[in-house]
A and B are shown apart, each in its own frame.
Chain A
Amino acid sequence: MANPLTLVIPLREDIDLSQLQAGLAELLPNIGAAMEAVGTVHYSRVALLDHSSPNLQPKPDSSGPFSFAVITSYDGDFDVYIQDFVTHLGSIYDALLGFSADGAAIVPVADHVEQFTAYLEANDLSKQPPANGFPFYSAYPYTVQQVLANAPS
Chain B
Amino acid sequence: MRLDYADVQGTILQGYRVDHARHFVLSVVDGAGARSFLRSLVDPASGLPQITTAARWTVKPRSFMNVGITATGLAALGQPLDGFPAAFRRGATDPATARLVGDIGDSAPSRWLDGFADGMRAHLILSLWVHRDIELLEQVSAVLRQAFGESLQELAAQDATALPDNKVHFGYSDNISQPTVQGAPPPKRPLPDRQPVAPTGEFLLGYPNQNRGAVYSVTPTPLSTNSSFAAFRLLEQDVAGFEAWLASAAEQAGIDPELLAAKICGRWRTGVPLVLSPDTATPDPPLAPERINDYDYVSGDPALDDTFGYRCPIGAHMRRTNPRGAQVIAGGSLHRLIRRAMPYGPPYDPGQPDDVPRGLVGWFISADIANAFELIMSQWVNDSAFVRSVRGPDGANPVKNISGQDVLLGVNDPAASSFTLTIPPTATAPWSNRRLTGFGPFVTTRGGAYCYLPSMTALRFISG
Binding site for B on A (CB under 8 A): 38-40, 75-77, 79-84, 86-87, 90-91, 108, 110-111, 113-114, 143, 145-146, 148-150, 153
B329 touches A39 (CB 8 A): yes
**Contact pick for A84, options B100, B212, B331, B385, CB 8 Å:** B331
A90 touches B212 (CB 8 A): yes
- Bound-state Cα–Cα, A82 to B86, Å: 13
Given A80-B379, A81-B329, A149-B391, 10 new contacts (CB under 8 A): A76-B329, A77-B379, A83-B368, A83-B375, A108-B212, A110-B214, A111-B215, A146-B389, A148-B399, A149-B397
With an 8 A cutoff between CB atoms, is B182 at the interface?
A: no
- Bound-state Cα–Cα, A63 to B330, Å: 40
In angstroms, how far is the closest chain A Cβ from the Cβ of B374? 7
**Contact pick for A110, options B212, B329, B331, B379, CB 8 Å:** B212
- A-facing mask of B276-292, CB < 8 A → 1, else 0? 00000000000000000
B211 touches A114 (CB 8 A): no
Residues of A within 8 A of B214 (CB): 86, 108, 110-111, 113
| A–B complex contacts, Cβ < 8 Å, 22 sampled | A38-B329, A76-B329, A77-B378, A80-B100, A80-B375, A81-B330, A83-B330, A84-B330, A87-B334, A90-B211, A90-B212, A108-B214, A110-B211, A110-B212, A110-B213, A111-B214, A114-B85, A146-B385, A146-B399, A148-B399, A149-B397, A153-B391
With an 8 A cutoff between CB atoms, is B388 at the interface?
A: yes
Q: Identify which of B331, B387, B399 gathers the most chain A CB atoms within 10 Å of its CB.
A: B399
- Bound-state Cα–Cα, A81 to B371, Å: 8
Residues of A within 8 A of B391 (CB): 149, 153
**Contact pick for A75, options B215, B385, B397, CB 8 Å:** B385
How many residues of B are in contact with the other chain, CB < 8 A?
Answer: 28
In angstroms, how far is the closest chain A Cβ from the Cβ of B238? 28
Main secondary structure of the interface of B (DSSP, over half): loop
Specify the chain B residue showing the minimal Cβ separation from A143: B385
With an 8 A cutoff between CB atoms, is B370 at the interface?
A: yes
CB < 8 Å A-B pair total: 77
With an 8 A cutoff between CB atoms, is B400 at the interface?
A: yes
A76 with B385, Cβ < 8 A, contacts A87-B212, A111-B214 known: yes
In angstroms, how far is the closest chain B Cβ from the Cβ of A138? 15
B385 touches A149 (CB 8 A): no
B389 touches A149 (CB 8 A): yes
In angstroms, how far is the closest chain A Cβ from the Cβ of B423? 18
- Bound-state Cα–Cα, A79 to B211, Å: 16
B334 touches A84 (CB 8 A): yes
- Bound-state Cα–Cα, A76 to B371, Å: 15
- Bound-state Cα–Cα, A77 to B330, Å: 12
Which B341-397 residues have a C-beta within 8 angstroms of A? 368, 370-371, 374-375, 378-379, 385, 387-389, 391, 397
Residues of B within 8 A of A82 (CB): 370-371
- Bound-state Cα–Cα, A94 to B374, Å: 26
B374 touches A40 (CB 8 A): no
- A-facing mask of B323-348, CB < 8 A → 1, else 0? 00000011100100000000000000
In angstroms, how far is the closest chain B Cβ from the Cβ of A111? 5
In angstroms, how far is the closest chain A Cβ from the Cβ of B65? 32
- Bound-state Cα–Cα, A84 to B388, Å: 14
Q: Identify which of B374, B375, B400 gathers the most chain A CB atoms within 10 Å of its CB.
A: B375
B211 touches A83 (CB 8 A): yes
A149 touches B379 (CB 8 A): no
In angstroms, how far is the closest chain A Cβ from the Cβ of B185? 27
In angstroms, how far is the closest chain A Cβ from the Cβ of B205? 13
- Bound-state Cα–Cα, A75 to B421, Å: 25
In angstroms, how far is the closest chain B Cβ from the Cβ of A12? 25
Specify the chain B residue showing the minimal Cβ separation from A91: B212
Specify the chain B residue showing the minimal Cβ separation from A151: B389
- Bound-state Cα–Cα, A90 to B214, Å: 11
Residues of A within 8 A of B397 (CB): 149-150
A80 with B211, Cβ < 8 A, contacts A39-B388, A145-B385, A145-B388 known: no
Residues of B within 8 A of A111 (CB): 214-215
- Bound-state Cα–Cα, A75 to B383, Å: 12
A145 with B399, Cβ < 8 A, contacts A81-B330, A108-B214, A110-B212 known: yes
B400 touches A81 (CB 8 A): no
A114 touches B378 (CB 8 A): no
Which B261-313 residues have a C-beta within 8 angstroms of A? none
- Bound-state Cα–Cα, A40 to B387, Å: 11
